[in-house]
């Protein structure tokens, strides 16, 4: 089955794992977007031997609406369809409740940016297309110093449910994945910040964190990519408006 798959945040972490997964199929065409184009291109060059799909890399800031409009206008002249959209780009800056600057930054990337890309991509999406949004376990729960991040990820869940209903008559499915404790640069960055605050080494903070997790391990981004692969498959055609959690059980127990 020949498909075009557009992935945001493809340079690192979950987005990269999703790209790697789809890249093993020679029938796929991948459109990979990230703000960190050098890192995205470095990874693609390094994986040339393994990559079977046709891959294009693009610099993009999903929060920049005029730039994204221009990007999709050009893309529309180069291809007919985007069959699968995976919105993985995101940031996790913490903020104090008084901190409006950070609030706007997080909302503009995680929520507005995700919606801009989705909305603009719709013109290229055929019936039976797939939209998969990375929310978070913090799309269901709260966390201190995370009003903006939690609001953005709750927002993605709401947007997913409503858009799924808009697009259901066209058999386009829209689902959210709610990850937690995925071993990516984002998680390692958060742990480094916590280590600095607690005066611990990275190894100590990782050990402490794993002790609190039911599975005593971080989840690999490839495990999230497998979930994306399922949601993008024909077999998942009846799964829409859902929030699928991948957190090793941490969200449901102490
Ligand atoms: N890692 C986790 O445990 C975890 C948990 C819950 C939710 N998530 C969500 O999953 C998604 C991926 O997270 P990750 O851990 O892979 O993060 P990451 O930081 O490892 O990778 C995110 C990628 O998005 C890109 N990016 C950031 N802002 C962008 C922008 N404005 N425009 C284009 N690209 C941009 C970054 O350059 C980076 O390559 C995020 O939306 C994140 O909130 C991750």
pLDDT in tens, 215-243: 999 999 999 999 999 999 999 999 999 99
% pLDDT > 90, the chain: 98
Whose CA is closest to 117, among 163, 55, 149? Answer: 163
Residue of the CA atom closest to atom 36 of ligand 1: 9
Q: Which domain holds residue 131?
A: 4-182+220-252
Tokens 């029938």 correspond to 27
Are residue 13 and residue 105 in the same domain, yes or no?
Answer: yes
Q: The domain that contains 9 carries what CATH number?
A: 3.40.50.720
Would you give the end-to-end CA distance of the chain in angstroms?
Answer: 43
Amino acid 91: pLDDT: 98
Are residue 139 and residue 205 in the same domain, yes or no?
Answer: no
Are residue 17 and residue 32 in the same domain, yes or no?
Answer: yes
Residue of the CA atom closest to atom 17 of ligand 1: 186
Are residue 66 and residue 115 in the same domain, yes or no?
Answer: yes
Amino acid 227: pLDDT: 98
Are residue 200 and residue 86 in the same domain, yes or no?
Answer: no
Q: How far is CA 207 from CA 26, 246, 248, in A?
A: 40, 20, 16
179, 136 contact by CB (below 8 A)? yes
Are residue 141 and residue 224 in the same domain, yes or no?
Answer: yes
| pLDDT > 90? residue 1 | no
Amino acid 254: pLDDT: 63
Q: How many domains does the chain have?
A: 2
Which of 184, 194, 244, 248 has most ligand 1 atoms within 8 Å of its beta carbon, as the pocket-test mutant? Answer: 184
Are residue 113 and residue 160 in the same domain, yes or no?
Answer: yes
Are residue 204 and residue 230 in the same domain, yes or no?
Answer: no
Q: Closest ligand 1 atom, CA of 113? A: 31
Are residue 197 and residue 231 in the same domain, yes or no?
Answer: no
Are residue 229 and residue 187 in the same domain, yes or no?
Answer: no
Mean pLDDT of the chain: 97
Summarize pLDDT for 121-138 with one digit per residue, the tens: 999 999 999 999 999 999
Summarize pLDDT for 23-73 with one digit per residue, the tens: 999 999 999 999 999 999 999 999 999 999 999 999 999 999 999 999 999
Q: How far is CA 60 from CA 9, 10, 11, 32, 178, in A?
A: 9, 11, 11, 9, 24
| pLDDT > 70? residue 152 | yes
Are residue 196 and residue 241 in the same domain, yes or no?
Answer: no
Cα(91) to ligand 1 centroid in Å equals 5
Q: State the catalytic residues.
A: 149
Cα(169) to ligand 1 centroid in Å equals 31
Are residue 42 and residue 134 in the same domain, yes or no?
Answer: yes
Cα(71) to ligand 1 centroid in Å equals 20
């Amino acid at each position: 089955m020949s498909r075009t798959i557009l992935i945001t945040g493809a340079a690192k972490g979950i987005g990269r794992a999703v790209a790697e997964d789809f890249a093993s199929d020679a029938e796929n065409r991948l459109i990979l977007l990230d703000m960190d184009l050098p890192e995205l291109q470095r990874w693609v060059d390094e994986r040339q031997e393994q990559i079977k799909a046709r891959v294009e890399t693009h610099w993009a800031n999903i929060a920049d609406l005029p730039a994204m409009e221009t990007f999709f206008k050009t893309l529309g002249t180069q291809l007919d369809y985007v069959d699968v959209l995976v919105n993985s780009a995101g940031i996790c800056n913490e903020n104090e409740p008084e901190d409006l600057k950070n609030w706007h930054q997080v909302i503009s990337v995680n929520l507005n940016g995700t919606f801009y890309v989705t909305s603009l991509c719709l013109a290229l999406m055929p019936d039976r297309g797939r939209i998969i949004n990375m929310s978070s376990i913090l799309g269901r729960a709260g966390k201190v110093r995370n009003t903006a991040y939690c609001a953005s990820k709750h927002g993605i869940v709401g947007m997913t449910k409503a858009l799924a209903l808009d697009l259901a008559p066209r058999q386009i499915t829209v689902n959210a994945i709610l990850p937690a404790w995925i071993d990516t640069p984002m998680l390692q960055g958060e742990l480094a910040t916590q280590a600095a605050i607690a005066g611990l080494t990275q190894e100590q903070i990782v050990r402490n964190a794993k002790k609190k997790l039911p599975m005593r391990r971080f989840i690999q981004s490839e495990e999230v990519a497998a979930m994306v692969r399922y949601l993008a498959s024909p077999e998942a055609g009846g799964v829409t408006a859902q929030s699928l959690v991948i957190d090793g059980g941490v969200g449901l127990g102490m």
